[in-house]
Structure 1
Amino acid sequence: MKVVETAIPDVKILEPKVFGDERGFFMETFREEWFKKDVADVTFVQDNHSKSSQGILRGLHYQTEQTQGKLVRVIQGEVYDVAVDLRKNSPTFGRHVGILLSDENKLQLWVPEGFAHGFYVTTELAEFVYKCTDYYAPQFEQRVLWNDPALDIQWPLVNGQAPILSEKDKAGILLIDAPVF
């Protein structure tokens, strides 16, 4: 696996070695020893899997306690994935990394603790899987508004149409009002 640096040093793109022929392909998606040495010394405790239709945007989510680092990838379709730095003492506070993840490019994104995370589905359907460093704790969940002008995220909205949001995500707050780390 190859680590690709991003504009925010703690956020990493992981590019697997893919071995394929006419029968299909094989790739290693996670190796604990390598990950701890080359990416982050963390332990994963929960795996999640979501399926979403085109135009759905999930995010920007984070937990103020039981904070979660996430290793994310797409196994069907494509999403635009975003990590926003919410660490107030970080030189990259309020900045984000955005990347297309797909079943074709097989890239993964490491989103450390202290970041809000979200994704937007660009294909007809997408299945998204991710590992978490702590358990989901809805009582600590927060949401930053996906289109906060201060973040200036250039979401690749299909046909320029507004994304489909959950009621909770519609009620997201601006970064300036959000609890941060």
Structure 2
Amino acid sequence: MIFTATELQDAYIIDLEERSDHRGFFARTFCAQEFEAHGLKPTVAQCNLSYNYKKGTLRGMHYQLKPAAETKLVRCTKGAIYDVIIDMRPDSPTFLSHIGVELTADNHRALYVPEMFAHGYQALTDDAEVVYQVGEFYTPGYERGLRYDDPFFNIEWPLEVTVISEKDLNWPLLSMIPIGDAEVLSITV
């Protein structure tokens, strides 16, 4: 695997190191030892599959608070997505910064999402399929989210949002999150 640090502290793009021959190729998609060597949490508590019927579908921006904070390894296995992460760690030098990465079935790229990063994506194709390896169990009482169209972040989604859940549509704007909301203590906008 090829680990490329992003501009957000502790977040990585992971590309395959393919071994090719006349049959096709072989590549490792996960190795606990290699993750640990890069300072990444190698725990996999759950594996999830997300399927999106229509391009323009948006899911996110989700994160979980400690003690149930999740890491994620996200990979698009069919079609294409635009994956966005936001650093929600108040003590981080990249606090409240975000990046977007195109993950496709063709580029085989994955995005490592550290704990306390809000995560969401938009399907760029019909029938986009996404696989997540998650480092903590889904714990509804610790789940939080941000609005995908929050003007504070000004995320430039590639397509018009055509499908979104009520839940994701109704996450609060950053300016509406109460100061003192568990891990998000020092948000001032």
- Does the alignment reach a TM-score above 0.5? yes
Residue 5 of structure 1 contacts residue 12 of structure 1 at CA under 8 Å; is this kept in 2?
A: yes
Mapping of residues 44-63 of structure 1, within 5 Å: 44-53=44-53, 54-63=55-64
| Pairwise CA distance, 1:139 | 2.2
Mapping of residues 44-123 of structure 1, within 5 Å: 44-53=44-53, 54-65=55-66, 66-123=68-125
| Pairwise CA distance, 1:7 | 1.0
Residue 76 of structure 2 contacts residue 130 of structure 2 at CA under 8 Å; is this kept in 1?
A: yes
| Pairwise CA distance, 1:162 | 2.9
Aligned-residue sequence identity (percent) comes to: 39
| 1:143 is aligned to 2:145 | yes
Q: Which runs of 5+ in 2 are unaligned?
A: none
Work out the number of aligned pairs and report it.
178
Look up the SS of the partner of 1:89 in the other structure: coil
Q: 1:154 aligns with which of 136, 146, 156?
A: 156
Q: Which runs of 5+ in 1 are unaligned?
A: none
Name the structure 2 match of 1:132: 134
CA RMSD, Structure 1 to Structure 2 (Å): 1.5
Residue 12 of structure 1 contacts residue 39 of structure 1 at CA under 8 Å; is this kept in 2?
A: no
Name the structure 1 match of 2:31: 31
Residue identity in the other structure for 2:175: I
Once the two structures are overlaid, the 10-residue window that deviates more, 39-48 or 122-131, is 39-48
| Pairwise CA distance, 1:78 | 0.4
| Pairwise CA distance, 1:176 | 2.4
TM-score normalised according to structure 1 size = 0.92
TM-score normalised according to structure 2 size = 0.88
CA distance in 1 between partners of 2:156 and 2:70 (Å): 24
Name the structure 2 match of 1:171: 170
Name the structure 2 match of 1:40: 40
